[in-house]
Amino acid sequence: MSQLEVDNVGVHFGGVVALDGLSFSIEKGQICALIGPNGAGKTTLFNVISRIYDATTGSVTFEGTDLLKAAPHQIAHLGLGRTFQNLALVPGLSVLDNVKIGAHSRSKAGFWTSTLRMPQVIKEERQLTQQALDILGRLSLADLAERPCAGLPFGTLKRIEFARALASDPKLLMLDEPASGLTHGEVDELGELIQQIRDEFQLTVLLVEHHMAMVMSISEKVVVMDLGRKIAEGVPDQVRNDPLVIAAYLGAPAK
């Protein structure tokens, strides 16, 4: 059985069909890219998996668990971490605290034990800090740990979100346009980083990205969407030459 199975998922907002019977699956350890023109429904799918949107039809199964029956905050507990296309950081907290927020799902201290600052709370907090600093170091953000997020450049904030998603120790990492706001050199580095992190942490990666060079070089599987539907699926080379994909991106040839 595949790790993530998206089966016939449809999302309708009134008369607007954002997703129309989308099905695909990802194997454990894969880097899978979700591509398609703007408005294809890629982020909508992310939001369905994160339980921000309700699916009108279909099901999403992660390691045998029906995600659509889970509450939004339980998704992280099940091992799914994600980043956002337009960032969803907490501007009022430091970079370090933002990364620690990511670890919320795998830390335990409750309201009352935290209020009393019991020894286990202090110990857990120390571990969280150390792990968050390690991740920040891994992403070359260690120097920014104490800075507030507000005022940092977009590309840096994207990496902080990446760090936050990693802090939850996810099994499946969903990255929504991680390369936007980066220079060409940085994009190449990011591609390598995603591969390294996949190997190191043994995760599965689901990636929405417009940067084709990166998508084609790091993905093992590419799913192409257009207008809420899947139009192609396969290894990068297959997809690249698919006439439907070319038509979706460049328009159909004039007759």
Partner 1 sequence: MTANEGEETIVSDGNTNDTGVTPAPNKKLPAPTIALWVVVAVVAVGLPFQLAPFRVDQMSSWLTLAIAAMGLNLLTGYNGQISVGHGALYGLGAYTAGLLVAKANVPLLVAVLAAGAVCFVAGVVIGLPALRIKGLYLALVTLAVATLFPLAVEQFSSLTGGNQGLEIRTEQMYRGSMRPRPVKFASPFEGLANDQWKYLVFLAVTAVCFLLTRNLIKSRIGRAMVAIRDNETAAAVSGIPVARTKIYTFGVGSALAGIAGGLMALNLGTIYPSSFTISVSIYFLVAVVIGGSATIAGPIIGALIYGAFNDVLIPELPNQLQPASAVILGGLLIVQVLIAPGGVVGSFKLAGSKLALRKARAAVDNSAAV
CB of 152 to partner 1, least distance (A): 14
Binds partner 1 (CB under 8 A): choice among 55, 96, 160, 190: 96
Q: Find the part of the chain contacting partner 1 (CB under 8 A) among 103-111, 199-207, 210-218, 246-254.
A: 103-111
CB of 49 to partner 1, least distance (A): 10
- The CA distance from 13 to 19, in Å, is 10
CB of 86 to partner 1, least distance (A): 11
CB of 250 to partner 1, least distance (A): 34
The interface mask with partner 1, positions 160-179, x = CB under 8 A, is ----x---x-----------
Strands (E), 92-186: 172-176
- The CA distance from 56 to 105, in Å, is 27
DSSP state of 85: T
Residues 31-90 that bind partner 1 (CB under 8 A): 50-52, 71-77, 82, 84, 88-90
- The CA distance from 255 to 223, in Å, is 28
Which secondary structure element, helix H or strand E, spans residue 33, and what is its range?
A: strand 31-35
Regarding 213 and contact with partner 1 (CB under 8 A), the answer is no
Regarding 119 and contact with partner 1 (CB under 8 A), the answer is no
- Long-range contact set of residues 158-161: C-beta below 8 Å, sequence gap at least 24: 158/83, 158/87, 158/182, 160/89, 160/95, 160/98, 160/99, 161/83, 161/84, 161/87, 161/88, 161/89
- The CA distance from 242 to 95, in Å, is 42
- Give the pair of three-digit tokens for residue 80: 């799914």
Determine the longest span between alpha carbons in the chain, in angstroms.
Answer: 74
Nearer to partner 1, 110 or 251 (CB): 110
Binds partner 1 (CB under 8 A): choice among 8, 115, 120, 202: 115
**Footprint on this chain of partner 1 (rule: CB under 8 A):** 50-52, 71-77, 82, 84, 88-94, 96-97, 100-102, 104-107, 109-111, 114-117, 121, 124-126, 128-130, 133-134, 136-138, 140, 142-146, 164, 168
